[in-house]
């Protein structure tokens, strides 16, 4: 499957891998799956890895619809933002497109170059939020 994910509940993130060619329908199915996952009941970040992505079968306007789904996910499940692992030139372009779209919707998007960097960022963001709520 071009879109797969694994949860890291103790570290407060979902790691989504985009492989080869992915469609809007596959991405929406993934979002639907995490929106009903009973283990995701605390604030979490999404890490999306574009490093093995060849093509995304949709563009800006569909991305706008996708960001609405993320807003809903935030209200229902504690989704707090996405960190993209760009990985290559195509991943960089996708990251910029989604970051622009998300910015108009008030969704937090950050871009890094490796999973290790994304994990450090999630840890920092979680600690920062814990400090704010204390």
Q: What contacts 44, CB < 8 A, 6 or more positions away?
A: 12, 13, 14, 77, 78, 79, 80
pLDDT at 130: 67
How far is it, in rounded angstroms, from Cα 27 to Cα 5? 11
DSSP 11: T
pLDDT at 1: 58
How far is it, in rounded angstroms, from Cα 34 to Cα 5? 9
pLDDT at 49: 94
Query: Which structural domains are found in the chain, ordered by start?
Result: 3-133 (3.30.750.24)
Per-residue pLDDT of the chain (134 residues; tens, 9 = 90+): 589 999 999 999 999 999 888 888 999 999 999 999 999 888 899 999 999 888 888 877 888 889 999 999 999 888 999 999 998 888 898 898 889 889 889 999 999 999 999 999 999 998 887 654 44
How far is it, in rounded angstroms, from Cα 84 to Cα 97? 11
pLDDT at 128: 82
pLDDT at 134: 42
């Amino acid at each position: 499957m071009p879109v797969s994910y694994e949860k890291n509940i103790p570290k407060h993130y979902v790691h989504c891998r985009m492989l080869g060619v992915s469609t809007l329908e596959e991405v929406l199915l993934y979002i639907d799956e995490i929106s009903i996952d009973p283990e995701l009941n605390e604030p979490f970040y999404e890490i999306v890895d574009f490093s093995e992505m060849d093509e995304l079968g949709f563009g800006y306007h569909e991305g706008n619809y996708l960001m609405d789904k993320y807003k809903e996910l935030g209200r229902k499940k504690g989704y707090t933002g996405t960190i993209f692992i760009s990985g290559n030139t195509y991943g960089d372009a996708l990251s910029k497109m989604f970051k622009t779209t998300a910015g108009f919707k008030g969704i937090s998007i950050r871009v890094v170059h490796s999973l290790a960097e994304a994990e450090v960022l999630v840890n920092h963001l979680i600690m920062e939020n814990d400090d704010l709520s204390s």
